[in-house]
Structure 1
C-alpha cells in the first residue's frame, strides 16, 4: 500500500505521520531522525533499480533490514548498527550516523521507543522512490524539500537557519547568471551552505549540471547537506566542514580558491565572526569589517573567492546598504570598482532565522571597471502570507528575475541608478533603496474646491487613464462636465457597476481576454495530451507559463504577472498532481476510481468523492484525476437537472413544514399540545393526533395535526425520491468511469477541467479590475456628493429643529 497517490497528499501525509510521532522532541532535533530514515530508504530503493549507483548498500545495511526489526525490543540499537554498516561501506561516518536511534531521552524507554520507531519505519516502508527522477519528476527531492521547510518552520527563531526558502533560492539561482550556457565544469560555491538547498536550486538552473562546492560550520547541518547532495544525485559534491571566515577550507597556499559562481545566505550580523581569526587571505583589502558585525566579512570573502569574471548573489540584511563608519568605507570601495551589479530588496519575514527584511546583493567582476550604475529593485511588496511567514509567489519570482536580467525600469519598482548619483554628496554612497526608488502609492489628495462647490476633480479621473484608454467611450458615458477641471456622475452611484458591465467596450475586452487564454491553451494542448513518463514537469510548466506571460504582456489593464500567477497557483494546487498521476499511471489508469484510504494507525482518512450505498455497506471512492462533477456535467446533465429539481422539492417540503409549525406552535396555538421541549416531530404529531381523536379534542386542532402529518409525509416522499435519484445518478457516474475511453478522459481533463479552470481564474482578474474601477468611482462620487454649503444648510436645519423641540419643552433659556 502507498501512503497516498498524489504528490501533495504524499507530502502532507508524510509530515502529519512524522509529526504525530515526534512527541516532546524539538523539530530541529527530530529532523535528523526523519531525514536519516528518508536517506536510507532512498539509497536502498535506488540500489535495487540502478546497479551503477555510487552508493553501496551492504548486507545488513539496508532499509529492508530496518523493516525486519518492527516490534523488536532492541530496535533502536539495531537501527544504529544498520546505519553504521551503510556509513562504513560508503565513507559516510559522521554523516548519516549522527542521530542516535537508541536515545531514551528523545525517543522514550522500552515499549514507547519500540512502538515509535516501528511506526516510523512503517511510514517510510510504504514509499517507493525507485526511478522517481527517471520519470521526469524529483519525487524524493520534493519530499525532502517539503520536510525541510516544515522543520525550519517548527524549529524556532534560533534553529531554522539551516534552510533557505526555495523561492528565494530560485531568485538567486536565476539572477547570478547560470543558464543553458553553463558548462558542467563551471563551479558554484556557497561558503555558508547550510543543508545545501540553495546550492541545489542553483544547480537546477544548469541543464548540463555544474560542479558544487560548499562549506558549513555546524556539524549536524553539514551532515544534512551531504545527505541532501546524494539524494539529489550529486555524489561528487565537495562539501567541507568548518568556519568559513576563520578557517576557510578552499585555499590554494596563501590564497583562496576561486570559483565561477557563488551564492550565500550567511548568518545575519554575526558578532563573533572574527574570534580566532589569524589569516585574512587578503579578503579585507577594502577595509576590515566592524568587530561586532560580520555581514561584510562574508561579502568580502565571497568577492575574494570569485574568478576575474566571477558572479555572486548574496542575501544580507538591509543594514549593509546604509550603515556608516567601516562599512561605509568598504561599500564605497566596492562601488567605485564597479563590483556591485545590482541590489534586490525583498519582503520582510521570508527567512526562518529572522523576521527582518533582507536584500540580495549581486556581485559581478566581469567588466566591473566599465560599470556606470547599480540596478535596483524594490520587491518588498510582492509576497503572500503563509502561516506566520511570508513567501514569494511564482509571479514575484518571475517578475524579479525578468526585470533584473533584462534591466527593465518600472516606475516604483526598478531603476538603473547611475554611480554619479550614488556618489553625490547628498547620498555619499548610501545604497538604501528608498533613496532611489519611491515605491509608495501616490497620495490621494482631497480637493477643497470640490468640497466647497461640488464636482469630481478631473485630476482624479485622469489618474484612471489606463481604463479610459482600454474603454475609450466609457468616461463620457459615466461622467459629464461640471465646470473647468471638474465633472459630475452622469449615472447614479449604484448604477456605475452595471453601466461598466453593459458597455460594448468592456464586453469586448472580457471576450478578448478569454480568447487569449483559449488560443494559448489550444497551442499547448497537443503537448499536454502527449504526457508520458518522459515528460519533465518543471520544463513543461516553464514553457507554457512563459508563453502565457508573453501573450498578456501587451494586454491593457491586466498585469501579465497576475495572469501568470493564476496558472501557477492552479499548477501547484491541482495540475501538478494531475500531471504526476498521468506520467506514472497513464491516462486510463489515473482516471480510475479507487477506494479511499482509511488508516487508523496513521490517523489518515480521505474525504470520498463518491459514496455508493449507505451505512456499513457503503463503498467510498476517490477520483484523483477526474472529479465526478465533470463526468456528470458532460454525460448526465439531464439526470442532474432532475436530481436538482427533486432536491429543490425536498427543500420546499421541509420549508412548508417549518412554516406551518412556526405558525401554530405559539402559546394557545393549534399545535401547542403536541410540542415537546419546544419542538414537534412527525412521531409526536402522529401520537398527538391519535390522542386528540380518542379524547374528542377540538376539531380545528385535529385538522391542524392531520395537515401537519400530511406535510411530514410529503417531505418524506420527496426526500426518498431525491435520495433514490441521487443514488442512481451516483451509480451511473461510477459505472461511466469504467466505460471512458482515453480520448474521452483527455477531453474531460484537458478541456473540462484544466482549460475551464484557468479561463475562470483569469476572468477573475478581469472581475477584480472592474471592482477596483467601480470602487474608486463610487468613492469619488460619495466624497464630493455634498458641497460645504449643502452641509451648512443641513446643519442650520437641524439647529432649527433642536431649538423647536427645546422650546416646546420650555427650555428656551438653555
Structure 2
C-alpha cells in the first residue's frame, strides 16, 4: 500500500498517545524523536557499507522489535541506542532519553506494555521509510517538523522555544536571499539554533549544500538539532553545545569571532540572564562597541552578536520583540548607531501569537552589511493582519508568506502594508523604528454624511471610494447611480433589493467573469499534461511550486481578485487532498488508481478510516479515486435511477408523516394503531385492522388505516428497490476499479477530482468579489434612502394616528 503523508503524521502522533499522560510533552518528545531517528536510519542505512550512518549489529530498530513483551525491554532499548550512538559519534545526542526510567514510563508490566506499544507503532507499514522513493521531498524531514510543531504547542510557553514556526523560517530564508547563494563554500549560522528547524529551512532554500553551523546551550535541545540534521541529510552540520554570548564556539585561529555569509536567529525574547558568565565591557570579540544592552534585557545582545557574526557582505535575519524598535535609554543609543551604519535593510512586523514561547507580536529584523554605507532607507512591512487561527495559536498561510516575500524582495509599495522609509524621516523620529509610526495599517472609517441623512442622496465620496470596481465595471456605476440635484451627491437608480441582479446581469460583469474563467482555463491547459505525466520518482514539492507560481502569475493582472487568495485555494487543497495523491503517484504510479482495499480494525477493534463503500460486511476504501467520481463519469444513468427510487421512498415517507400529523393525535384515527414507541408499522396497523374487523362504526378509521398500510407497504417496496439498486451500483463500481485504464485514471483524478475542485474554488472568489460590491452598494442605498425630514414627517403622522386610537379608547394623552 502506498504511503500517505497524512498517515505518517497520524501514526507518529499516535506514538505520542502511548506516552501522553505519563510525562510532559517537553519530555516525551525526546523518546518519540529518538525512536523516529533509529527507525529512519535503520530503514535507510542498515546493511549499506557506504551509508552515512553505520547501523551496527544489535543496534537497529529490528532489534527493538524483537524485544516486544520482554521484561527488560527498557534496559535493552538503552543498550541498542548506545551501540548506534557509539558507532556514529552520537553519544550525548540520541542517548539522552532513558527508556528504563520507571518514574516516566511506569514500572513492571506498565513499562513493558507502554514501550512494546511504542515500538509497535513505529513498526507500522506506513512508517516503512524504505518505501520512500521521493527522496528530494524529504518525507521524513516533514514528519519531524510536524512532531516538533505539535511538541512546541503542547510544551507551553516556558518550554516551546526550541522550535521556530516553519512559515517564519521560510520568510527569513527568502528575505536574506538564500536562493541567491553562489556556491557550496558559503556558510550559514544560527547562534541560538534550538532544534535546528530555522537553520534547516534556510539551508534548504539555497541552491547549494551550504556548510551549517549552530550553537545551542540546552543539552536535550542540542540533541534534537543533531538528530534533525541527520534526518534532513545534513549529517556534517556542526552543532555545538554552549552559551553563545558567554562562550561562542566558532572562533578563528587568531581569536576573533568567525563570520558567516548568512546568519539566522530566533533567540529567547528579553533574556534576563544574558550576561551570565560575561563582562560585556571586556568582551574580547568587541561585540558591544556600539553600546551595552540593559542588564535585564538581552534582545540587543543577541542582535549585536549576529551583526558581529556577519561577513562584510553577509546577510542576516533575527526575530525580535517589537520593543527593540522603540525602547529608550541604552537601547536607543545602540539602535541609532546600527541605523546610522546602514546595516538594517528591513523590518517585517508579524502577527501576534505566532511563536510557541510567547504570545506577543514579534518582527523580523533583516540585516545586510553589503553596501550598508550607501543605504538611504529601511524597508518596512506591517504583516500583522495576515494570518489564520490554528487552535490556540495564529499561523501564517501560504498566501501570507508569499505576499510578505514578494513585497520585501521586490520592494513593493503597498498602501497600509509596506513602504521604504527614508533614513532622514527615521532621524526626525529620533531613530524610533516602531512600525505604526510609518505605516498606518488601520482600515479607514466608514464616515456617515450628515447632509445626506438630512437631504437625501448618496455622497459621491463613498461611490468614488469604489473606484477599483468602476475601473473594471464603468457602465455598472451608471446603471446603479444617477445625477442628483445637489453637487457632491448621486441618486440611486436601483432599489436595494435589486442591486445584486443589476450587477450580475450586466454585460461588463459577464465580460469580467469570462476573463477570470479564461485565466484559470489558461492555467489548466498549461498544466493538464504535466499533471497527467506524474511518474514514479517525481518530486511533489517541485510540482506544486511550479504550478502554484504560474497560477499566481496568471492572476496577477486580474483586477478585483486577490491573486494571493487564488494561490491560497490551491495550496489549501494541496495540503488537504492533492499532496497525498501526488505522493502516492510518485511512489507507486498510476496503477494505484485501481486500488480499493478492505478496511481492517485496529487493536482496539475500531476502523481508523471512514469507508467509501460498504458491501455486506466488507468496508472498502479507495486509494485515490472515490466511488463518486467513477459513478459520475461512467454510471450516471444508474445513479439517476437510484436517486429516482430514493426520491420515491422519501415522497412516500413524507405522505406517511403527513397522515400521522393529521390523524396521529390522541383523538386521531391512527392513534390506536401506533406501537408503544409511537410508531406506525405495517404490523401495528394490521393488528388494529383485525381489532376493528366487522365493526361498521369504525369504517372511517378502517379507511384511513388501509390507506396508511398501503403507503407503508409502498415505502418498504420502494426502499427495498432502492437498496437493491444501490448494492447493484456499488458492486458494478467496485468491479470497475480493476478495469480502469491508465487514461481513465488520469481523467478521473486530474480532471474530475483536482481541477474540478480548483475551478469551483476560483469561482468562489468571483462570487466573493461581487458580494463585497453588492453589499457596499446596498448599504449606501439603504443608509440614505429616506432623509431625516421625511422620517420625522412619517413619525409625526404615525404619532397622530396612535393618539387618535388612544383617544377613542379613552386613553388620550394630555
TM over 0.5: yes
**Where does 1:563-602 land on structure 2 (aligned, <5 Å)?**
563-601=566-604
Query: 2:724 aligns to what?
Result: 724
CA contact (8 A) 1:349 1:390 kept: yes
| Residue aligned with 2:620, SS | strand
Query: 2:230 aligns to what?
Result: 230
Query: 1:626 aligns to what?
Result: 625
1:184-229 Cα deviation digits (max 9, x unpaired): 1110000000000001101111122111000001110000001100
State the distance in 2 between where 1:813 and 1:743 align.
Answer: 85
State the distance in 2 between where 1:244 and 1:604 align.
Answer: 50
State the distance in 2 between where 1:180 and 1:419 align.
Answer: 27
State the distance in 1 between where 2:373 and 2:447 align.
Answer: 45
Query: 2:318 aligns to what?
Result: 314
Which deviates more from structure 2 when the two are superposed, residues 267-276 or residues 474-483?
474-483
State the distance in 2 between where 1:292 and 1:360 align.
Answer: 22
- Residue 277 (1) aligns with residue 278 (2): yes
State the distance in 2 between where 1:379 and 1:551 align.
Answer: 24
Which deviates more from structure 2 when the two are superposed, residues 364-373 or residues 140-149?
140-149
State the distance in 1 between where 2:620 and 2:322 align.
Answer: 53
Which deviates more from structure 2 when the two are superposed, residues 474-483 or residues 377-386?
474-483
CA contact (8 A) 1:674 1:688 kept: yes
Query: 2:384 aligns to what?
Result: 380
| Residue aligned with 2:136, SS | coil
Query: 1:769 aligns to what?
Result: 769
Query: 2:512 aligns to what?
Result: 509
CA 1:133–1:302: 2 relative to 1, 3 Å? farther
Q: Report the Cα offset of residue 135 of structure 1.
A: 4.0
Q: Report the Cα offset of residue 597 of structure 1.
A: 4.3
Query: 2:751 aligns to what?
Result: 751
CA 1:793–1:600: 2 relative to 1, 3 Å? farther
| Residue aligned with 1:256, SS | coil
CA contact (8 A) 1:135 1:535 kept: no
Q: Report the Cα offset of residue 180 of structure 1.
A: 4.7
CA contact (8 A) 1:169 1:201 kept: yes
CA contact (8 A) 2:187 2:260 kept: yes
- Residue 536 (1) aligns with residue 539 (2): yes
CA contact (8 A) 1:49 1:130 kept: no
1:728-759 Cα deviation digits (max 9, x unpaired): 11111111111111111111111111111111
Residue among 477, 480, 484 paired with 2:479: 477
Which deviates more from structure 2 when the two are superposed, residues 96-105 or residues 791-800?
791-800
Query: 1:168 aligns to what?
Result: 168
Q: Report the Cα offset of residue 612 of structure 1.
A: 1.7
Query: 1:108 aligns to what?
Result: 106
CA contact (8 A) 1:46 1:131 kept: no
Q: Report the Cα offset of residue 532 of structure 1.
A: 1.8
Q: Report the Cα offset of residue 581 of structure 1.
A: 0.6
CA 1:591–1:333: 2 relative to 1, 3 Å? farther
Query: 1:158 aligns to what?
Result: 158
**Where does 1:13-28 land on structure 2 (aligned, <5 Å)?**
13-28=11-26
Which deviates more from structure 2 when the two are superposed, residues 638-647 or residues 686-695?
686-695
1:321-353 Cα deviation digits (max 9, x unpaired): 111111111110011010000000000000011
| Residue aligned with 2:753, SS | helix
State the distance in 2 between where 1:155 and 1:216 align.
Answer: 18
**Where does 1:408-557 land on structure 2 (aligned, <5 Å)?**
408-424=412-428, 427-483=429-485, 484-557=487-560
Which deviates more from structure 2 when the two are superposed, residues 767-776 or residues 670-679?
670-679
| Residue aligned with 2:179, SS | coil
State the distance in 2 between where 1:813 and 1:503 align.
Answer: 54
State the distance in 2 between where 1:265 and 1:619 align.
Answer: 52
1:143-174 Cα deviation digits (max 9, x unpaired): 11111111111111111111101111111111
CA RMSD of aligned residues (A): 1.6
1:1-27 Cα deviation digits (max 9, x unpaired): x7x832112212321342244223111
Query: 2:665 aligns to what?
Result: 666
- Residue 392 (1) aligns with residue 390 (2): no
- Residue 703 (1) aligns with residue 703 (2): yes
CA 1:791–1:810: 2 relative to 1, 3 Å? same
Q: Report the Cα offset of residue 573 of structure 1.
A: 1.0
CA 1:331–1:710: 2 relative to 1, 3 Å? same
Residue among 112, 115, 118 paired with 1:117: 115
Query: 2:184 aligns to what?
Result: 184
TM-score scaled by length of structure 1: 0.97
State the distance in 2 between where 1:603 and 1:248 align.
Answer: 54
State the distance in 2 between where 1:128 and 1:740 align.
Answer: 28
Residue among 78, 90, 93 paired with 2:91: 93
1:531-569 Cα deviation digits (max 9, x unpaired): 123322222111111111111111111111111111111
- Residue 368 (1) aligns with residue 366 (2): no
Q: Report the Cα offset of residue 356 of structure 1.
A: 0.5
CA 1:681–1:299: 2 relative to 1, 3 Å? same
Q: Report the Cα offset of residue 592 of structure 1.
A: 1.5
Query: 1:350 aligns to what?
Result: 354
CA contact (8 A) 1:271 1:292 kept: yes
CA contact (8 A) 1:184 1:210 kept: yes
State the distance in 2 between where 1:366 and 1:492 align.
Answer: 61
Query: 2:307 aligns to what?
Result: 303
Which deviates more from structure 2 when the two are superposed, residues 713-722 or residues 695-704?
695-704
State the distance in 2 between where 1:482 and 1:414 align.
Answer: 39
- Residue 737 (1) aligns with residue 737 (2): yes
State the distance in 1 between where 2:207 and 2:132 align.
Answer: 18
CA contact (8 A) 1:456 1:781 kept: yes
State the distance in 1 between where 2:714 and 2:207 align.
Answer: 69
Which deviates more from structure 2 when the two are superposed, residues 272-281 or residues 140-149?
272-281
State the distance in 1 between where 2:190 and 2:206 align.
Answer: 16
Query: 2:31 aligns to what?
Result: 33
State the distance in 2 between where 1:767 and 1:636 align.
Answer: 32
Q: Report the Cα offset of residue 249 of structure 1.
A: 1.1
State the distance in 2 between where 1:659 and 1:250 align.
Answer: 84
Q: Report the Cα offset of residue 695 of structure 1.
A: 5.8
Q: Report the Cα offset of residue 181 of structure 1.
A: 3.9
CA 1:694–1:119: 2 relative to 1, 3 Å? farther
Q: Report the Cα offset of residue 576 of structure 1.
A: 0.9
1:676-733 Cα deviation digits (max 9, x unpaired): 3544333222211111216666111111111111110011011111111111111111
Query: 1:251 aligns to what?
Result: 251
CA 1:793–1:780: 2 relative to 1, 3 Å? same
**Where does 1:676-691 land on structure 2 (aligned, <5 Å)?**
676-691=676-691
State the distance in 2 between where 1:374 and 1:432 align.
Answer: 12
CA contact (8 A) 1:315 1:359 kept: yes
CA 1:50–1:796: 2 relative to 1, 3 Å? farther
CA 1:602–1:419: 2 relative to 1, 3 Å? farther
CA 1:704–1:603: 2 relative to 1, 3 Å? closer
Give structure 1 stretches of 5+ with no counterpart.
none
Question: How many residue pairs align between the two structures?
Answer: 806
CA 1:135–1:89: 2 relative to 1, 3 Å? closer
State the distance in 2 between where 1:399 and 1:237 align.
Answer: 31
State the distance in 2 between where 1:699 and 1:813 align.
Answer: 63
Query: 1:608 aligns to what?
Result: 611
Give structure 2 stretches of 5+ with no counterpart.
none
Q: Report the Cα offset of residue 644 of structure 1.
A: 1.1
| Residue aligned with 1:598, SS | coil
